Structure 1
Amino acid sequence: MSQLPRLISMLTLLKSRRILNATELSDKFDISVRTVYRDIAKLNEAGIPVITLEGRGYTLMDGYTMAPVQFTEKEANALITAQHLVNKSKDSSFVSDFGEAMIKIKSVFRSSILEKSELLNNKIHVFDHSFENISSNALSEIQLSITNFNYIEINYQKAEDPNITFRKIEPCAIISTDQKWILIAWCHLRKDYRAFRIDRIQHFKILQEKFENRKFNIQQYFNNC
């Protein structure tokens, strides 16, 4: 887990009014005690009043609350529009995860904003002129593999090729074109970067084994194509 998500999770735990010591936080987030000290310092620097109780641990100052997130009507409209575009994606995992996220986001809309967003929702239509109806259900897992540097094993079938090949790949980036998701990855079979249409991956397995960051640069990749 990178630092920002970890800090948010740590703050959520502290908001529960629990007293947590450095060892508990270290075990919870699989980090060193020294990193816990640095994280607590970061929260304090951000203006969050984390109090150290000598011999007991950390807690938040009594009465401290986080201001609820507020969306303007235009921001809410942008999110509603984005959901319509996402719903046309050919990857069901992406559509499902975005839908769950939108439920949580809408829960903090003011009632007036929510009413207008529901009105707009019924007045947006996105037409799909794609004649190819191939779908996938791997995008969400692949995204996690990119950010956590996990190898993926795939069975892949190229267009108009009856053969399926086994590949072990290092996922690097995702692009979208013509409503198709393309995974750019280092292929150990070809010893080079390759582009894989996610909807043509027949089967995939995310491995616990991690690869070294190759510092992939997508602009350089396209320049070399």
Structure 2
Amino acid sequence: MNRIDRISAILIQLQSRRVVKAGDIASRFGISLRTVYRDIRTLEEAGVPVIGEAGIGYSLVDGYRLPPIMFTREEATAFLTAEKFVEKLTDVSTTAHHRSAMYKIRAILKTAEKDLLDTMEGSIEVLKSRSQRQIDNQDHIQTILNGIINKSVLCIEYLAGYMQTYSRREIEPVGIFYLDSYWHLIAYCRLRSDYRDFRLDRIRELNITDSKFEGKHPLLKDYIAQTASEHHLETIIIRVDKKMLPYINEQKYYNGFVSEVDAGDQVEMTFLTTSPGYIARWFLMFGDQAEIISPPDVIKRVTELVENITRRNVLPV
């Protein structure tokens, strides 16, 4: 990205939030803080009313707005791709709101960009996995987000997975995330006096109450990071022959898959898990086409499993 495009992008970033930290700008564009300061100074010299506060960040004077923005073709198709995901992976209300926003975005596109989206409409599709669950066409996501915004206590009727019975809970919502084909809600449960993970497909009824909660809850990303630390997640690295990837690419996400690196004829995969024993058993499915790099404990577990299988399945002489 050249400097002119970067400075324009920084101005748009400043409009997107009330306060933007210099470190966030530097991280986004891969530049030094000194370069950020120089770019901000260029905006100021161009007449943009930027307010900078030491230790806080940059903001624009209230009321300042850019004229209508033109999107690039790549940005326009990215919006279309996102629309496909929203339609398949969220609830009815979220889909409707996103579609309304897309109408507004399309309205400011140039004719060529509108034609491009019309052409690409049938060339992008998102299909649900067999394991994906619907949210029963209820508007849980928007209700939860409204609860977070307004600090409203939610009342839910929830099916506990281990008891298979419904219970009524009052909860203080923290955040939602999508993992392994399910939407999850992290909330403080007043019944249990602790934070809990609620799967949205198990919520039969959800309502916003008139009660407000005053306590300050952790950010969702901080809670997830803290939970991962408390559960003593173990790092496991394996190398798999590339010809096996079509058979395990979907399964890897259920075993704590984090990342992968090309290693010639193999792919090196990294997993974070609380159940190394489970990964050891999963590894046996394709172990003749793979190897465990670390830790030694998982190698030992696999070896013991193979020895036990051999011992119990000896052909008669």
Q: 1:196 aligns with which of 191, 195, 198?
A: 198
CA 1:166–1:110 in 2, change beyond 3 Å: closer, same or farther? same
Identity level (%): 28
Q: Secondary structure at the match of 1:122?
A: helix
CA 1:80–1:221 in 2, change beyond 3 Å: closer, same or farther? same
Report the residue type matching 1:223 in the other structure. Answer: S
How does the TM-score come out when normalised to structure 1? 0.67
Q: Is the 8 A contact 1:145 1:152 kept in 2?
A: yes
Q: Secondary structure at the match of 2:89?
A: coil
Q: Is the 8 A contact 2:171 2:188 kept in 1?
A: yes
Pairing of 1:106-117 with structure 2 (within 5 A): 106-117=106-117
Pairing of 1:87-126 with structure 2 (within 5 A): 87-126=87-126
Q: Which has the higher contact order (CA 8 A, sep 6+)?
A: 1
**Structure richer in helix, relative to its length:** 2
Pairing of 1:1-225 with structure 2 (within 5 A): 46=61, 48=63, 67-135=67-135, 136-159=138-161, 161-211=163-213, 212-216=215-219, 217-218=222-223, 219-225=225-231
CA 1:120–1:220 in 2, change beyond 3 Å: closer, same or farther? same
Stretches of 4+ moved more than 4 A in 1? none
Query: What is the rounded CA distance, in whole Å, between the counterparts of 2:110 and 2:229 in structure 1?
Result: 46
CA 1:48–1:129 in 2, change beyond 3 Å: closer, same or farther? closer
Q: CA deviation at 1:205?
A: 1.3
Query: What is the rounded CA distance, in whole Å, between the counterparts of 2:166 and 2:227 in structure 1?
Result: 26
Query: What is the rounded CA distance, in whole Å, between the counterparts of 1:197 and 1:115 in structure 2?
Result: 40
Q: Is the 8 A contact 1:89 1:95 kept in 2?
A: no
How does the TM-score come out when normalised to structure 2? 0.49
Q: Is the 8 A contact 2:154 2:171 kept in 1?
A: yes
Query: What is the rounded CA distance, in whole Å, between the counterparts of 2:180 and 2:108 in structure 1?
Result: 33
CA 1:132–1:80 in 2, change beyond 3 Å: closer, same or farther? closer
Q: Deviations over 1:1-56 (max 9, x none)?
A: xxx99x9xxxxxxxxxxxxxxxxxxxxxxxxxxxxxxxxxx8xx62847xxxxxxx
Q: CA deviation at 1:148?
A: 2.3
Q: CA deviation at 1:183?
A: 0.2
Q: Deviations over 1:104-148 (max 9, x none)?
A: 211111111111011111111222222454324210111121122
Mean alpha-carbon deviation: is it higher for 139-148 or for 123-132?
123-132
Instruction: Tell me how many residue pairs correspond in the alignment.
Output: 171
Q: CA deviation at 1:68?
A: 0.9
Report the residue type matching 1:113 in the other structure. Answer: E
Query: What is the rounded CA distance, in whole Å, between the counterparts of 1:76 and 1:90 in structure 2?
Result: 21
Larger Rg: 2
CA-atom RMSD, angstroms? 2.6
